[in-house]
A = this chain, B = another copy of it.
Amino acid sequence: MATNIRDVAKAAGVSVATVSKVLNGYTTVNEQTKEKVLKYVKELQFRPNQAARSLVGRRSMTIGIFLTTGLAHPFFARILVGMEQALQAKGYDLIYLAQMSWGKEYSFVRHCQSRNVEGVVVFGFQHEVTDFGELIESDIPAMFIDLDIREGRAGFISSDNREATERAVAYLAKLRHRRLAYISGNKDSYVDIHRFAGFRAGLEQAGIPYRQEYTAEGDFTQEAGYAAMQRLLALPEPPTAVVCCSDMSAIGAIEAIREAGMSVPEDFSVLGFDDIELAGYVRPALTTVRQDMIAIGRKVIEQLDALITDETLDPPAAIVQTELVVRDSCGPAKAD
């Protein structure tokens, strides 16, 4: 059986209260006694039972995680890596609330409460999919990734989507492209709205008029990228370059371009977004905007911890820098 505080107290010849005080850093304990207690804590490898701890109102050191998109999301793994570092630094464990499915009978908030979760990180891209009202009203500290919710005790974090896309357009413009297209992600998603805004801003910067027909709707997937590109190519005056809202769309777009008998980057430039692992392996290797998912993971925990430990803190809207990774999918515009 696991050792408990009484075992330690008995071994050290003190009361459980004293052991508890030592463990919780009270200064009202004699240095001698403290040493003695600590000695037995180490010897017995005692770790206070978290359940009992959180029961008496102490911190549970548990953070919950929820994904609206399911575990299969391509970034999830990397975000987790980043979270891991911060989790360790701050002393939290991460609990994946598996039974969750938002809706009528089931209450995510209740689930969190029953698990004594101190805070929760939510990862997803669409507002409509789920109703976060209950969570926001619950006053459980929360951090959203790629979802601009900032209300009550909930903040969010995301990449600098707008600037990143603006820079991407500038890069393409420097390659002398003038007919620039945009393949969007899901139209109402936070990231798409900002990337699209960046696209338009970039156009303006470069003195290129915006053309409605050069915006093709997608949904972040390869299939959508493929279909969107086909539509773009069917235009009377097709574009010569495209910025895609995701690497997967970019891959789909390249597929469509190839099928139309053209090659990338000679005839057409394709710029992606994300820099997923695949990006460096497909041919041509993708020129793309790298999102620093590890930094996002780390920061989301740091911010959440801040929210948890400081009740008065205004919920953050954290932005993480991106970087344009130049590979082989973009080239100079052909003089025509």
Whether A52 pairs with B55 at a CB distance below 8 angstroms is: yes
Query: In the complex, which residues 27-59 of chain A have their Cβ closer than 8 Å to any Cβ of chain B?
Result: 45-52, 54-55
A72 at the interface (CB under 8 A from B): yes
Query: In the complex, which residues 271-308 of chain A have their Cβ closer than 8 Å to any Cβ of chain B?
Result: 277-278, 281-283
Whether B45 pairs with A49 at a CB distance below 8 angstroms is: no
Set of chain B residues within 8 Å of A193, measured between Cβ atoms: none
Q: How distant is the Cα of A88 from the Cα of B48 in the complex, in angstroms?
A: 29
Other-chain residue from B94, B95, B110, B283 in contact with A47 (beta carbon distance below 8 A): B110
Whether A251 pairs with B281 at a CB distance below 8 angstroms is: yes
Query: In the complex, which residues 51-75 of chain A have their Cβ closer than 8 Å to any Cβ of chain B?
Result: 51-52, 54-55, 60, 62, 70-72
Work out how many copies of this chain go into the complex: 2
A102 at the interface (CB under 8 A from B): no
Whether B97 pairs with A96 at a CB distance below 8 angstroms is: no
Whether B72 pairs with A77 at a CB distance below 8 angstroms is: yes
Whether B98 pairs with A95 at a CB distance below 8 angstroms is: no
Interface on chain A toward B: helix, strand, loop, or mixed SS?
A: mixed
Query: A45 and B98 in contact (CB under 8 A), knowing A71-B84, A281-B282?
Result: no
Whether B71 pairs with A114 at a CB distance below 8 angstroms is: no
Other-chain residue from B72, B114, B278, B282 in contact with A50 (beta carbon distance below 8 A): B114
Query: A88 and B99 in contact (CB under 8 A), knowing A80-B71, A114-B50, A281-B282?
Result: yes
Set of chain B residues within 8 Å of A253, measured between Cβ atoms: none
A174-200 vs B, Cβ < 8 Å mask (1 yes, 0 no) = 000000000000000000000000000
A150 at the interface (CB under 8 A from B): no
Q: Which residue of B lies closest to A294 (CB)?
A: B72
A111 at the interface (CB under 8 A from B): yes
Set of chain B residues within 8 Å of A71, measured between Cβ atoms: 77, 80-81, 84
Whether B84 pairs with A98 at a CB distance below 8 angstroms is: yes
Can you report 7 residue pairs joining A to B where beta carbons are below 8 Å apart?
Answer: A2-B110, A45-B110, A51-B51, A52-B55, A62-B95, A93-B99, A95-B96
Q: Which residues does A use to contact B, with CB under 8 Å?
A: 2, 45-52, 54-55, 60, 62, 70-72, 76-78, 80-81, 84, 87-88, 91-99, 107, 110-111, 113-116, 251, 277-278, 281-283
Known: A51-B54, A55-B55, A87-B98. 8 other contacts (CB 8 A): A2-B114, A47-B114, A50-B51, A76-B77, A84-B98, A95-B96, A277-B278, A281-B282
